[in-house]
Structure 1
Amino acid sequence: LGARAGGFGDGKLNVTDKDGNPLQLAADKVLVTVGRRARTKGWGLENMGVAMEGPFVKIDDRCATSMKNVWAIGDLTGEPMLAHKGSAQGEVVAEIIAGHNKRFDPTTIAAVCFTEPEIVSAGMGVSDVEGRDDVIQAVFPFAAIGRALAIEAGDDGGFVRVIADKNDHRLLGIQAVGQHVSELSNSFAQMLEMGAVLEDVAGTIHVHPTLGEAFHEASLRALGHAIHI
């Protein structure tokens, strides 16, 4: 962070770090990302009595701002900056304006990186539970899933990981890497939203052959009895 990329050639990237020190790194490709900022400037927000929370508009669990009858949804309300979060917030606000009692209080919002391979994360990640001895983690590779092998998605290191509470087996987080794993993200979010335990996933008969079997097998592995590994 804070570094600047310079010349790139012959597999070498010249970099200046945040302290001004020159570095040369071996690299095959360079990915330049500019990040995102909340669009809170230039359209009149600064003239309103709306409280801010850092660069974002501060809202409560009804998506209400500090100004009466002013609501905020989407990326300018903070992380996670995801389209499906903004859409869900919009539905909540529409219901409230229509006179219904609604709250925006999701257990989790799954996130997907639509790269090759795709990356999915829902709930807690490995870094969130690092050093804890009260959790179970289990990984199941797509290399042992028939559907993944059939669509040539089993040989690039893809997997599903589950993280659960060691005491009651409550699911805390789910991650997946691999081709087409974005299609599993809704199942991950649903299980976390419902407060599922490992036994719930393990006890659900998953369709064969599908990539979702990796979620089933990862849960079985966390319980100590995976079938295909």
Structure 2
Amino acid sequence: CFTEPEIVSAGLGPQDVEGRDDVIQAVFPLAAIGRALAIEAGDDGGFVRVIANKDDHRLLGVQAVGQHVAELSKSFAQMLEMGAVLEDVAGVIHVHPTLGEAFHEASLRALGHAIHI
């Protein structure tokens, strides 16, 4: 994950679910997060992507690309390990302003409820 820009992937990636109609994918741009703007981390097209089962919303994978996203890897792994659903991620209070809000927003977007886009 220590590339430029940083890349983090946990669980299934988009290539693993390509062509499947039983999954939800949602991408949230870092440029829409206050912390990313403050540290100029949203300028490189960075994002957080969530992949989940369509029927039960079980989280299958999370990816992030952008400056400082390596710090999100713990949250991604923890949610996957606990068998979280999108509603679990959306229900966690993500401190403001942090890059972790992008994980929250991507999950909300997958559920059709993104706040900042």
For residues 200 and 175 of structure 1, the distance between their equivalents in structure 2, rounded to whole angstroms, comes to: 17
For residues 116 and 149 of structure 1, the distance between their equivalents in structure 2, rounded to whole angstroms, comes to: 18
For residues 42 and 6 of structure 2, the distance between their equivalents in structure 1, rounded to whole angstroms, comes to: 13
Q: Taking structure 2 as the reference length, what is the TM-score of the superposition?
A: 0.99
Equivalent of 1:187 in 62, 75, 92: 75
Equivalent of 1:152 in 8, 16, 40: 40
For residues 121 and 177 of structure 1, the distance between their equivalents in structure 2, rounded to whole angstroms, comes to: 9
Q: How big is the shift at 1:202?
A: 0.4
Q: Taking structure 1 as the reference length, what is the TM-score of the superposition?
A: 0.51
For residues 154 and 183 of structure 1, the distance between their equivalents in structure 2, rounded to whole angstroms, comes to: 15
Corresponding position of 1:218 = 106
Corresponding position of 1:92 = none
Q: How big is the shift at 1:225?
A: 0.7
Q: How big is the shift at 1:187?
A: 0.5
For residues 15 and 4 of structure 2, the distance between their equivalents in structure 1, rounded to whole angstroms, comes to: 23
Moved over 2 A (4+): none
For residues 114 and 205 of structure 1, the distance between their equivalents in structure 2, rounded to whole angstroms, comes to: 27
Q: How big is the shift at 1:205?
A: 1.2
RMSD of aligned Cα (Å): 0.4
1:124-152 superposed Cα distances (whole Å, 9 cap, x missing partner): 00000000000000000001000000001
For 1:8-157, list aligned pairs within 5 A.
113-157=1-45
1:30-77 superposed Cα distances (whole Å, 9 cap, x missing partner): xxxxxxxxxxxxxxxxxxxxxxxxxxxxxxxxxxxxxxxxxxxxxxxx
Q: How big is the shift at 1:155?
A: 1.1
Q: How big is the shift at 1:190?
A: 0.3
For residues 124 and 115 of structure 1, the distance between their equivalents in structure 2, rounded to whole angstroms, comes to: 20
Among the aligned pairs, what percent are the same residue?
A: 91
For residues 195 and 142 of structure 1, the distance between their equivalents in structure 2, rounded to whole angstroms, comes to: 25
For residues 99 and 6 of structure 2, the distance between their equivalents in structure 1, rounded to whole angstroms, comes to: 13
For residues 116 and 16 of structure 2, the distance between their equivalents in structure 1, rounded to whole angstroms, comes to: 29
1:99-147 superposed Cα distances (whole Å, 9 cap, x missing partner): xxxxxxxxxxxxxx21111000000000000000000000000010000
Q: How big is the shift at 1:192?
A: 0.2
- Which segments of 5 or more consecutive residues in structure 2 lack a partner in the other structure? none
1:197-228 superposed Cα distances (whole Å, 9 cap, x missing partner): 00000011110000000000000000001000
Larger Rg, first or second structure (1 or 2): 1
Corresponding position of 1:97 = none
| Number of aligned residues | 117
